[in-house]
């Protein structure tokens, strides 16, 4: 991948919606997601030149977001969350509101690390190896957490959630 040549402000303007969407799905709350993204961008800003020399800074910022979301959930002992409002950048006319609620209820039923794995694997469409790099763990852990998450999602009421991950 070619090195990122833009400045920090341009990067935030171009990629903040995508980063916020990942944080929202990982946290479950828009207010919490905004805090997580803000903290991650503060950390990235401190070493912006180094991140740009390494190439595209976004793959370095996503793990910060996911790890912050998991840490906050653990620190506050919040295993369940209540989403506030609609997810960012999803036009209401094109999204089935009931299905969105079923999906969010399913995510809410997961532990923080399981939720992070599901978001990275199925929303961000990362491979197991890429998700493992983001989470700083082994591929085996990603596989086991995905399996546990899908098993748990299958037990959550709702026909749409019960079919997640089945071929």
Asked if residue 167 is part of any domain, the answer here is no
User: Residue 97 sits in which domain range?
Assistant: 8-158
Q: What percent of the chain has pLDDT over 90?
A: 20
Give me the count of residues in the chain. 167
Q: What is the pTM of this model?
A: 0.61
- DSSP-derived letter for residue 94 is G
Q: Tell me if 1 is assigned to some domain.
A: no
- Please name the residue ranges forming H helices in the chain: 8-27, 30-46, 48-53, 58-75, 97-108, 112-118, 128-135, 139-155, 159-162
Determine how many CB atoms are found less than 10 A away from the CB of residue 33.
Answer: 25
Q: Is the pLDDT of residue 142 over 90?
A: yes
Rounded mean pLDDT, 32-50: 90
Token code pair at residue 133? 């790099």
CATH of the domain at 60: 1.20.140.160
């Amino acid at each position: 991948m070619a090195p990122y040549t833009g400045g920090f402000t341009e990067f935030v303007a171009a990629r903040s919606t995508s980063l916020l969407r990942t944080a929202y799905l990982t946290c479950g709350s828009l207010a919490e997601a905004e805090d997580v993204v803000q903290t991650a961008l503060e950390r990235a800003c401190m070493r912006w030149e180094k991140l740009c020399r390494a190439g595209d800074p976004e793959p370095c910022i996503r793990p910060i977001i996911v790890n912050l979301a998991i840490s906050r959930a653990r620190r506050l002992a919040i295993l369940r969350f209540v989403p506030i409002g609609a997810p960012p950048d999803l036009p209401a006319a094109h999204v089935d509101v009931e299905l969105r609620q079923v999906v969010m209820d399913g995510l809410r039923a997961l532990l923080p690390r399981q939720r992070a794995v599901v978001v990275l694997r199925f929303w961000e469409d990362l491979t197991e190896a890429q998700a493992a790099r983001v989470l700083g763990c082994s591929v085996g852990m990603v596989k086991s957490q995905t399996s546990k998450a899908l098993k748990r999602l299958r037990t959550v009421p709702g026909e749409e959630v019960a079919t997640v991950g089945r071929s």
